[in-house]
Amino acid sequence: MRPDDPAAQADYSYALIFAGKLAEAEEVARRAAALPRADAKPLAALANVEFYQSLFAKGRENVAKARSLSTDENERFGLEEFALFTHVAEGRYRAALEAAFALETAARAAKNPNTVVGAVLDRAFAAALLGKHAEGQRYAAEAWALSESEPLSGIGRKGLQRGILVARMWTQGLGKGKADAEKTLALMEKDEADSPNDAYAQSAAAWGRGVLKLAKGDAAGAAQEMSKCMPSADLCHVHLALAQEKAGDKAAARATRASLVSQQRTQDSFYLVLRQQLLKKASDKVPVSSNM
């Protein structure tokens, strides 16, 4: 296990998180962070544990320390984005937007167009996660325009635009934008047709069709579509549970949510927001709303 190697110990901590052994993961990460020559990785691993424990402020402190130790630009940007979504998990929308604007500013200064577009997309997702669909639509439109104008690679543009389509579909379909959602779905279905062997494209299109059916009041049809999503499509499974509940299958909805909450992920702040929202809904005994 190379106990004196901070990076190896950070990797071990992540493995323990994935195995659901949070107490052990925390101990390993803390020990690694205290080693000589420790860099950003052990502190980032420790922050992951703290975010799972809903210790968001403490986790952000360790993310900030990790960022100060990092010598890799993309790692620093990734850490900033990770911290950004913890504000969303706490319902702190303005703080999340401020973090996204700061990330965009830093990315522009570094001439990193992928992160520039990604930061604007993060604003769209932050809005969607907190039910601010009109603002989410505006940020998604801004992100799409930037994805067309910024000097991105072909692969980078395609990946970002797939994410933007998700934000558009989410905020249009579940907000006031059903006609626009039809157009967005058409783009997702074109990607699906153009990429028959791409599991992501197939899953995203199934989710998009489900969102539109849910918006039109066909909960059973929505559930049928969303059941085709890939296992790692967390947002789709959140909406699948909503569709199942609206279709009257509360047992299936509970099972879907329980399965999602039980997942162990590392370095996935979007999932942690969804998980936190589901845990809060369960503790409040309030059904998950369409704001998600």
Q: pLDDT grade, residue 1 (50/70/90)?
A: low
| pLDDT value for 266 | 85
Tell me the whole-structure pTM to 2 decimals: 0.94
Dist CA 24 CA 26 (whole Å): 5
Q: Do the domains at 1-71 and 177-292 have one common CATH topology?
A: yes
- Does domain 72-165 fall under CATH 1.10.150? My reply is no
**83-126: per-residue pLDDT in tens?**
999 999 999 999 999 999 999 999 999 999 999 999 999 999 99
Read off the pLDDT of residues 223-266 as tens digits, 9 standing for 90 and up: 999 999 999 999 999 999 999 999 999 999 999 999 999 988 88
Our CA angle for 171, 287, 177, nearest 5°, is 15
pLDDT confidence of residue 213: 98
CATH architecture of 1-71: Alpha Horseshoe (1.25)
- Check pLDDT > 90 for residue 271: yes
Instruction: Over range 50-69, report the average pLDDT.
Output: 97
pLDDT tens by residue, 194-232: 999 999 999 999 999 999 999 999 999 999 999 999 999
- Picking from 266, 192, 197, 279, the residue whose alpha carbon sits closest to that of residue 25 is 266
- Which DSSP symbol is given to 150? S
140: Cα separation from own chain's centroid: 15
37: left (phi over 0), alpha (psi -120 to 50) or beta: left
What residue has token string 């998990």? 89
pLDDT of res. 287: 45
The ranges assigned to domains in the chain are 1-71, 72-165, 177-292
Please, how many CA atoms are within 13 Å of residue 95, restricted to the half-sphere of its CB?
14
Tokens 């389509």, located at residue: 165
pLDDT at 285: 56
Residue-wise pLDDT tens digits, 4-45: 999 999 999 999 999 999 999 999 999 999 999 999 999 999
CATH 1.25.40 fits 177-292, yes or no: yes
Residue 264: predicted pLDDT: 84
